[in-house]
Structure 1
Amino acid sequence: MNAFYTFFAVAPKGMESLLVDELKALGADGVKASRSGAFFQGDLETGYRACLWLRTANRVLLPLARFQAETPEALYDGVRNIPWGEHLEPDGALAVDLSSSLSQIHHSRYGALKVKDAVVDQFRDQFGIRPSVDLSRPDIRLNVYLLRDEAVLSIDLSGESLHKRGYRDEGGPAPLKENLAAAILMRAGWPEIAARGGGLMDPMTGSGT
């Protein structure tokens, strides 16, 4: 039997309802809109399918833990309590993205450094070797969101932002992100118009569309 997970798909503010509709169309369970995204449930295949097919999302996250992190030490301890050997090889590579709002840890780079230290210290103590840091192509990318001193730590299943999945190799001077372009078309009812054989005229010819 496949394991069942709760995921969080991140989207720009104002696009949550479109994201909810997309997730339901993909067959995700427990879909619930939230600020700047939506929660949904399913197996890992559901999470990967969301990464592949969602058009309005920026990222798909797999939350691992939620804990209080009023101090750098509390953040370190909370991260170190997670069994990282289940998610990363000792000689693998990781990257950490951290954002903070209304929290005592407000320096994102310092917070990300504490998260990285907690992970690599656990491996070094258990195996005598430690993972490296690779910001461009890590084996695992961690996402930490601090809000009012509470940390939510997730695995970022997306890698880069999902709007970069597209066909575009080169952008114009003011490119429109693909997920925003998709949201505009969905709001305009374009899928239904296209199904009826209608046409589309784009007078702005934005490179995102």
Structure 2
Amino acid sequence: MLIVRQNKMKRLLIFAKWFLMIWGGVALIAVLAIGGFFAYHFAYGNRNRIDSASPRDVRFVLNWCKLGENRIEKVVHSYVSSRSFTGDHPDAYAIKITHLDVKELAAGKDDSEDHWYQGDGLHKVLDEAIAFVGGFVNSGEVPWFPDEKDLRSSEFYIYPVTIHCYGLRTTAAEIIFVKPSEKMVYYFSGKT
């Protein structure tokens, strides 16, 4: 009886030993994976990328507003910021295009989804979103981006892609701005 108990105890200890070794290995791998993710996210992999965008990187901007990527002449400036843990960021692009007719910007007036607004005639929500953009532009991170006063002028046409609000306060926005006289397209994406 004593020998049977010792054998059972021995098998139980062997099982416990293997279980704890496997559990420890899994825990070690999990800790290394999580630690690696945070180390990459907060160090090497999370840096501002300035003036490094190619036409391929920004083609979504012209496709979103239905102008078409085939108009891209060059990316004049780009700023893709590092991301905070909650995703806060400002990103901006300045894109020179080959051609643009103001009539194209007025074509979608009846369609609320594909609607360009002139900078001097904004709805309340879009007006708040432009103020949100102005807050980032005034920070100095993108000195080449038009300031809020210019964006509100009749020279600019504005295409809101997304605007997120907390109550009535804009907390995130993706907006495309076009200045037909200079054949320039500006894109802004920001979140706080």
TM-score (norm 1): 0.25
TM-score (norm 2): 0.27
Larger radius of gyration: 2
The structure richer in helix per residue is 2
